Amino acid sequence: MSAHVLARDGTPIAYLDRPPLDRPVDRGAGATPLVFTSGYTASDFYWRHLLARLDGRARLITWDLKGHGRSGPANDPGAVGVADSVDDLRRVLDACGVERAVLVAFSLGCQVILEAWRTIPERIAGLVPILGTFERPFDHLLHPRLGPTLFRAFARVGPRVARVALRAGWLQGALPGSFQVSQRLGLIGPRVARADMAPFFAHMRRIHGPTWARMGIAAQAHSARDLLPTITAPTLVVAGGRDTFTPRHLSEHMARTIPGAELVYLPEATHTGLLEFPEEIGAALDAFLAARGLLGGDAARAAA
């Protein structure tokens, strides 16, 4: 069962706190907690492979952005920016009694955890941005010339037609042949089965459309570029060579600019890389955490 904490505007933010196996949550010792921030239109189903791999070896906390998963729609339509999501993340940390955590994120969640360095750096033990950018995600969506055009249309009509757009996305998963079209377009990786994406398509029916649309518009106005050279937390960046949402050069720039950051490059990974290459991403995360003592004694030995 998930729990909830109230955002600044009173929106209930859902989170799930998984303690290490056969042990109650120990708020003062052991492995550093890992907090997973999901991406745009996603919830914790995208993390299932990593969660299964780490289950019992660390404290794992997942949470949902406003309007997504089990979180409520934004009470204040203006409280959906990246900085607002950082404040929601901080409240989840507070509710869980976590002083410092490794922040793991996918897609839009990467902007959230990078922006967290601006206001709560003392709460960050490590950063793991996976298949996500540090600013203006629509700029490179599908194609550098196409993305900005799509965004202008989205910004103009998005909040008004969001429910229809999300329903269309759900129907895409149900219509014969649509899944294969998405794979041919590179939106879904060729190694991903329809069943792997079923939770994603089902989730689209539950997302609060206006919150979702305004969150996307706000994300396009955000940049953490200025923060990258100031980050001192250990950082692992995961890039996909076939990602049509976050081209590899953005991840490579992030890894070059953050002092001491590591880059894991998966040449065949699309934006669904967490479902395509869970073993490769999981092994890289294991090694990253173990090398820095962030898994705790027994867990680190198991990962070695």
Q: In the 3-class helix/strand/coil scheme, how is the chain assigned residue by residue?
A: CCEEEECCCCCEEEEEEECCCCCCCCCCCCCCCEEEECCCCCCHHHHHHHHHHHECCECEEEECCCCCCCCCCCCCCCCCCHHHHHHHHHHHHHHHCCCCEEEEEECHHHHHHHHHHHHCHHHEEEEEEECCCCECHHHHCCCCCHHHHHHHHHHHHHHHHHHHHHHHHHHHHHCCCHHHHHHHCCCCCCCCCHHHHHHHHHHHCCCCHHHHHHHHHHHHCCECHHHHHHCCCCEEEEEECCCCCCCHHHHHHHHHHCCCCEEEEECCCCCCHHHHCHHHHHHHHHHHHHHCCCCCHHHHHHHC
Q: What is the mean pLDDT of the chain?
A: 91
Give residue 81's pLDDT: 98
Q: How far is CA 24 from CA 14, 15, 17, 100, 149, in A?
A: 20, 17, 11, 18, 50
Q: Do residues 17 and 3 make contact, with C-beta atoms less than 8 angstroms apart?
A: yes
| Residue 6's pLDDT band (cuts 50, 70, 90) | very high
| Residue 27's pLDDT band (cuts 50, 70, 90) | very low
At 183-222, the pLDDT tens digits run 888 889 999 998 999 999 889 889 999 999 999 999 999 9
Report the pLDDT averaged over residues 220-232: 98
| Residue 302's pLDDT band (cuts 50, 70, 90) | low
* 60 or 204: which leads in pLDDT: 60
Give residue 24's pLDDT: 52
Look at domain 3-303 and name its CATH class: alpha beta
Q: Do residues 197 and 179 make contact, with C-beta atoms less than 8 angstroms apart?
A: yes
Where are the domains positioned within the chain? 3-303
83 exposed, middle or buried (CB, 10 Å; 0-12, 13-18, 19+)? middle
pLDDT at 304 over 60: no
Q: How far is CA 219 from CA 41, 59, 224, 251, in A?
A: 13, 29, 11, 17
pLDDT at 22 over 50: no
Q: For 193, phi and psi rounded to 5 degrees?
A: -85, 155
Give residue 149's pLDDT: 86
Report the pLDDT averaged over residues 74-91: 98
At 234-285, the pLDDT tens digits run 999 999 999 999 999 999 999 999 999 999 999 999 999 999 999 999 999 9
